[in-house]
Amino acid sequence: MFTMKILVAIIGFILILGSLGAALVFLMRDKGKSNRTVTALAMRVGFSILMFVLILAAYKMGWIQPTGIR
C-alpha cells in the first residue's frame, strides 16, 4: 500500500512538471502567437487541483493518516 501511494504521487508530480515544461517549450517556439502555452499552463493548474482533491479524498476515506511533526 505504501509503495502505491508513492507511485501515484510520483506520477502526479511528473504530469505537473511535464505540462510546465511543455508550456515553456510552446512559449519559446510560438513567441506568443498561439494559445498552446495557456492551454499547457491550464492543464498544470488542473493537475495540481486534481492531486489536492485526491489527497483530501484519501484522507477522508482513511487511506492516509497525518503523522504530525516529530
Residue 65, class by beta-carbon neighbours within 10 Å (0-12 exposed, 13-18 middle, 19+ buried)?
A: exposed
**pTM for this one?**
0.67
Model confidence at 57: pLDDT above 70: yes
Cell of residue 36, nine digits: 498552446
Q: pLDDT tens across 6-52, in order? A: 787 888 889 888 888 888 888 888 877 888 888 888 888 888 898 88
